[in-house]
Structures are given as structure tokens and as C-alpha cells.
Amino acid sequence: MSEKMAQDANYNPYAGVQPATPATAPAAAPARPKTVETAFWLLIAAAALVLIRIPVGIAAVNTEKHKEEVGSIFGTANIPWWTSEEISSYVWSGVSTAIILTAIALLSRMGFGWPRIVLILVVISTALNTRVQFFASVVTVYPAAWVTLVSVLLSLAATVLLFLTPSNHYFKSMGQYRKGKKSVQA
């Protein structure tokens, strides 16, 4: 019987072959630091505030005091057009900013570092928008401007957290982890 096994081994191309082991097993993903986790929740809160700003802004635009101020500046014939333009601006800017902030929060949480640069641009543009809301030619300071200001402050705090040393190490480690994972799969 041992002679039969020896003959079978000679004809079996897989006899004696050991299963291949990967060169390097992928290491566990780096632990997410509290700075990134906190920044994630701050950005989600900022996105929620930007969405809350929409009905707050619409309510402020529809007040009689605002319509009187717009009428005194642009003429009463332009009140409906101006009001609809302001409402449209609140809706589109609020929805797009909320989507961008949420995407930045998710990508940062996943370990991508590049969204931090986009976040800086979003914070700057939103801060400029807040400045315009506070110092517009219309005298009324809308409650929406205060909501926007709080959103900007939350986004600014998240930006600072995402550039701290633990966050930087996390983003670098995640980049190396993804590269290592790709090389093992290849």
C-alpha cells in the first residue's frame, strides 16, 4: 500500500505542496483618536445647525419688518422677488453646506486627511457669509445669522481638532494601512 501511495504522489501534481501563506497579513486598522471622533460630532452638529438655519432664515425673511426694510431700500415692487431670492439662497446654501460638512466628517472619520483642506475653505466661506449676514445693508440682524455663527464656531473647532498631532498621526497611519492592505491584495 505504501508503494501505491508513492506512485499516486508521483502522478498527483498537488502532492506535497503546502498552502501558500500571505507575505504579510494585514495589520489591524489604527485606533481613531478622540480628536477625530470629537471633530466628527462637531461637524455633524454644524451640519444640523446649517439645516436648522433654513426655516429660521425663511421665518425672518417673511416678517413684516424685513419686508418694510427691503421695500424702503429696493422699492415695494421688488419685495416678492427679493424675498424669494433670499429664501432660495437659504435653502440651497444650507443643503449644500450640510452635505459638504457631513461628507468631510465621514471621510475624516474614515482616516482621509485631505478633507481637512476642504474644511478650511468651507469654514472661511461660511464665516464670510456670516459677516455678510451681520453687516448687510438691511438693519435687521436675523436669528439665522446667529445660527450660522454657532455653526462656523463648531466647524472651526473641528478644524483645529483635525490638525492636532493625534489626528495627524491617525491620518498618516490610515494612509499606510490602506497602502499595506492594497499591496497584500495585489
Segments in 32-78 forming alpha helices (H): 34-61, 64-74
Q: What are the residue boundaries of the structural domains of the chain, listed by start?
A: 33-185
**Mean pLDDT, rounded, for 14-40:** 73
**Mean pLDDT, rounded, for 73-99:** 85
Residue (of 128, 152, 154, 131) closest to 141 by Cα position = 131
**Residue 83 in this model has a pLDDT that exceeds 70:** yes
**Mean pLDDT, rounded, for 3-19:** 54
Identify the H or E element spanning 91. Answer: helix 79-109
Three-state SS at 110 = coil
The pLDDT assigned to 119 comes to 97
The pLDDT assigned to 184 comes to 74
What pTM does this model have? Answer: 0.77
- Which residue in this structure is represented by grid cell 498537488? 14
Handedness of CA 94, 97, 100, 106 (dihedral sign): negative
Most confident listed range (76-80, 144-148, 159-163): 159-163
Query: What's the grid cell of residue 16?
Result: 506535497
